[in-house]
Amino acid sequence: MAKELLKDVTIHNTKPTDKDQRLNDGDGLYVLVKPNGAKWWRFDYTFKGKRKTLSVGVYSATGLADARRKAEEARNQISNGIDPSDTRKEAKATQLLTAENESRLDAGLTIIDNFEHIANEWGQKKFDTWADNGNRTKRMLERNIFPWLGSKPITDILPKNILECLRRIEDRGTIETAHRTLQICGQVFRYAVATGRVDRDITPDLRGALPPTKGGNFASMTDPKQAAPLLRAIDDYTGSFIVKSALYSLPL
């Protein structure tokens, strides 16, 4: 329990001077009285060996009891290994994101940090052709994922939601496409993890949920008459020596 030193009347009656004044309430909490008369609540603390200061409010909008309550909440976070400054920043970022998304929805746009928004951001960084509707990866997402999960915040998406989309692909008899779509979703989630939008990639939870793809042999020459034209084409190849050597080894 912090040792409480201040009284409300003391704060109220303190007059400004030409220098900052500090009125201590104990255990890191104090009022900073500025020369212009403003009275700011401050809370000093140490987190992982670093000295930090947290703004707790402005007197008298934030009274003595409220300031002590906020300081106590911060102390509890510190004791649990949480930096209260980081908590404040995250809360502010969430508020700004909520306001921005409300504006986007009013304008008929998709919200920020939903799956479609993050997938498009990832695609634009990964593919030079992402803006082209002919991009195969983009088409797969637009057909198989966006209609059901595109507008959903990525933090709200569960493995079962992705599996429902994959089952629709499977029902069309294209299991290879289902596996490829799952791989793409995993890349989007890993990008979201790297950019701080979500805590982890959930797609590994679906390992084994889809039937395996059917293996097959690659196309090969079966007519000996085709060998001669192939060898002549390799001989005429004008690329690097390493590639040409590799091509010569293939017929063997």
Average pLDDT over every residue of 165-181: 93
pLDDT digits (tens, 9 = 90+) for 97-136: 667 767 766 777 666 788 998 999 999 999 988 988 778 9
Domain map (residue ranges) of the chain = 8-91, 115-206
Q: Residue written as tokens 């649990």?
A: 80
Tokens of 64: 């003595």
Longest dimension (CA), the chain: 104
DSSP string, 98-152: HHHHHHHHHTTPPPTTBHHHHHHHHHHHH-TTTTSTT-HHHHHHHHHTHHHHTTS
User: Tens of pLDDT along 22-66?
Assistant: 999 999 999 999 999 999 999 999 998 999 999 999 998 899 999
Q: Is the pLDDT of residue 1 over 50?
A: no
Residue 66, φ and ψ in degrees, nearest 5: -65, -40
CATH for the stretch 115-206: 1.10.150.130
List 52's β-bridge partners, or say none.
45
Tokens coding 106 = 């009013």
> What pLDDT is stored for residue 79 in this prediction?
92
User: What distance in Å separates the CA atoms of residue 57 and residue 5, rounded to the nearest whole number?
Assistant: 18
pTM given for the model: 0.49
Q: Which residue has the higher pLDDT, 20 or 99?
A: 20
Fold of the CATH domain 8-91 = Double Stranded RNA Binding Domain (3.30.160)
Host H or E run for residue 96: helix 84-106
User: CA 71, CA 248: separation in Å to the nearest integer?
Assistant: 75
Cβ–Cβ < 8 Å for 74, 90: no
pLDDT in tens, 184-197: 999 999 999 998 88
From residue 202, give the alpha-carbon distance in Å to each of 156, 160, 193. 11, 10, 10
Mean pLDDT of the chain: 86
Three-state SS at 29: strand
